[in-house]
Chain A
């Protein structure tokens, strides 16, 4: 698995490179600004790029804008955005209509190394990684007569993990549940939210996010 890292902090780049290298990934390039990122993505065609949202020179959203152009020109390159702060509004805008091969995580998530490596793999394979904090913003802040209120606590947990982009297997290992139980929960959730069952994980994330966004 070939990875590109873009972050203006050398320390951060080295740490992430080390973590992913230990997990058996190949770090093909490591850059400090958005222009460098666009260039190495074009030449190296990596499986995934880890991108800091704020980068020089303006320290606002260079990373996010670079990510947008990369998603247009190289749709098969996964993008995992890292940010010091995550906001639901920003997340939904960045994901747009296409959560495939896209992730948006709080920077501190790299400290939970196993989860982080798993998220990088997922995005590289075309999956989704949505920060748990955003999912809890989306799930937690509901209107009064929202069908989400009808979910059991366990079902809410499963809904959140689906929204983060995890597969059934991922949910199983996270909650220490059997695949059978997880499947039951998932179909119960889709029934209660009156959503059609999605044929695969990607579209499932899309459906869940669309639902949560619409109800915001």
Chain B
């Protein structure tokens, strides 16, 4: 409300100020009616455009800057006053509105902030240079009847010389720099940014080339016609700029209108389509959504993978506690926030989904690690049994056998005892060997799945046909496939009374498919025989695979395990 009152006051004051300026132009320097009126209309155009922009886009300071330009242009008229103090004040700041304040407003468009350090330096230095020149000119002012309060050494020649330097320096050099900065802005802008920037930039270049030509022409004699043409060029350039600003503003208003239309769609959009819907609403194909997970204090994408918010100039609009929208930096953050608010429910759901995905990925990863660690443990136990206990027992048995040979002939009793001991040890070694094989068959590590299946077949009392690829797969995948085959074969023999078993292990694309088929009674799972297999589901799924059991009573059993093995 206070801002509104301030704007109203500024409008009223500006209008009155303009009328006073018109009076000064007509009566004190005898300007023609069209010239005086045009000069005031330029200031008023800036004023009205600035105030409207300020009201419509309070977050952008461009409106304020435009209003500032308007007041500089009005203040300029004070230099035509015959009052010395008013004249001096008017002259000191007269050039701002046509030069640096104007450039400031254009370069700050659309957010109202200068973007680069160089732009800030350029504008800051220009303010100083322009005011400094005016001050120096006032010290040599010698053009009665007006008198400069700062006059030290009145000299018309000095004034002309300094003024020429000013025209070349400020209008020429700073004007060219200004054009270069604008060209760079437009070239570096994104597609959406150009749509917003171009009308204004065209108008600004139009005005700036006028300033540069002013500098160039100061070296030549110019006719009255040239001066006249330059004057109207300047007037139209200056009016075009605030109008271009209004056009840019209206475009943003239009985009806001389509967002309003899309509120209904956005509020009903499915979680999976929320990004596309937002991209469509905001006309930004590069739009991305990062979801905030407060428990883990990080942003993730749709599938739960952590993402870093960019700091490379991409626009980031944060929607409190839910998500951040990464978008074209030229998009108005207000607009993005509005669209985000419309899609709040869908974003909320998408975030929950992303959160669940992230947790699922973590759980899957840890499950895989647990199974792999278990496998590694089993392999180590198997090796320890081989290299430790088994080795010692065989060596010990051999020693006893040698003793038996040496002393057994002398004592039949000793011979019997030692033979018995060796026999016991042989049984123990055989048992240990079976135990180690059950823990983790060495043949699996050494020969791979095909070799391990052949070995398994030789210890299976039912005829077993093996159709296995000789390829090697990652160790944990081979182990999972092997244990699936073991369990399925054990079930076929023990519970299903099979007379034929077929095992196949083949690579299909990036998947190892292990299949065990028997001709038994079927119905696995109903009589409790499938429980061991269901335990293996965990192992298979831990590696991202699937395990299927087809077992209708009377039709035999088919166990199919699929294990991803991208290698």
Contact = CB atoms under 8 A, between A and B. Distances in A.
Interface string A84-121: 11011110010000000000000110110100000000
A150 B451 CA distance: 27
B367 interface: no
Nearest to B423: A111
Nearest to A56: B387
Interface string A1-32: 00000000101100110110010000000000
Contacts of B446: 60-61, 87, 90
Judged by DSSP, the binding face of B is helix
B398 A19 contact: yes
B458 interface: yes
A197 interface: no
A181 interface: no
B566 to A, nearest CB: 26
Interface residues of B, number: 38
A9 B398 contact: no
Interface stretch (B154-162, B205-213, B357-365, B399-407): B399-407
Nearest to B453: A89
Interface in B50-95: none
Interface string B348-391: 00000000000000000000000000000000000100110011
A190 to B, nearest CB: 24
B386 A84 contact: yes
Judged by DSSP, the binding face of A is helix
A60 B382 CA distance: 12
B393 to A, nearest CB: 9
A59 to B, nearest CB: 6
A16 B446 CA distance: 26
B272 interface: no
B386 A85 contact: yes
Contact of A84 (B391, B445, B455): B391
A85 B429 contact: no
A134 B500 CA distance: 22
A147 B402 CA distance: 43
Q: Which of A61, A93, A141, A143 is most buried by chain B, counting CB atoms within 10 A of its CB?
A: A141
Contact of B402 (A18, A85, A140, A216): A18
A173 interface: no
A45 B526 CA distance: 65
Interface string B405-426: 1000000000000000010001
Contact of B455 (A61, A110, A137): A137
Given A54-B387, A89-B454, A9 B405 contact: no
B443 A87 contact: yes
Q: Which of B429, B445, B454 is most buried by chain A, counting CB atoms within 10 A of its CB?
A: B454
Interface residues on A, range: 20 to 34
B455 A87 contact: yes
Contact of A137 (B401, B445, B458, B500): B458
Contact of B422 (A9, A11, A111): A111
A144 interface: yes
A84 B383 contact: no
Nearest to B397: A111
B433 interface: yes
A84 B436 CA distance: 11
Contacts of B451: 87, 89-90
Nearest to B384: A59
B398 A110 contact: yes
B253 interface: no
A157 to B, nearest CB: 18
B498 to A, nearest CB: 14
A197 B455 CA distance: 30
A15 B395 contact: yes
Nearest to B451: A89
Nearest to A138: B458
Contacts of B422: 111
Given A11-B399, A143-B465, A90 B433 contact: no
B283 interface: no
B398 A16 contact: yes
A108 B445 CA distance: 22
Contacts of A87: 443, 446-447, 451, 454-455
B419 to A, nearest CB: 10
A111 B398 contact: yes
B464 interface: yes
Contact of A110 (B387, B394, B465, B500): B394
A111 B401 contact: yes
Contacts of A140: 458
B450 interface: yes
Contacts of A22: 405
A89 B448 CA distance: 10
B314 interface: no
A22 B398 CA distance: 14
Report, nearest first, the 7 A-B pairs whose CB atoms are least far apart. A89-B451, A137-B458, A11-B395, A15-B398, A87-B443, A12-B395, A89-B447
12 contacts: A11-B392, A11-B396, A11-B399, A84-B386, A88-B454, A88-B458, A90-B443, A93-B447, A141-B458, A142-B463, A143-B463, A144-B463
Interface of B: 383, 386-387, 390-392, 394-399, 401-402, 405, 422, 426, 429-430, 433, 436-437, 442-443, 445-447, 450-451, 454-455, 457-458, 460, 463-465, 500
Given A87-B447, A88-B454, A108-B397, 8 more contacts: A59-B383, A84-B433, A89-B455, A90-B443, A108-B426, A110-B394, A111-B401, A137-B455
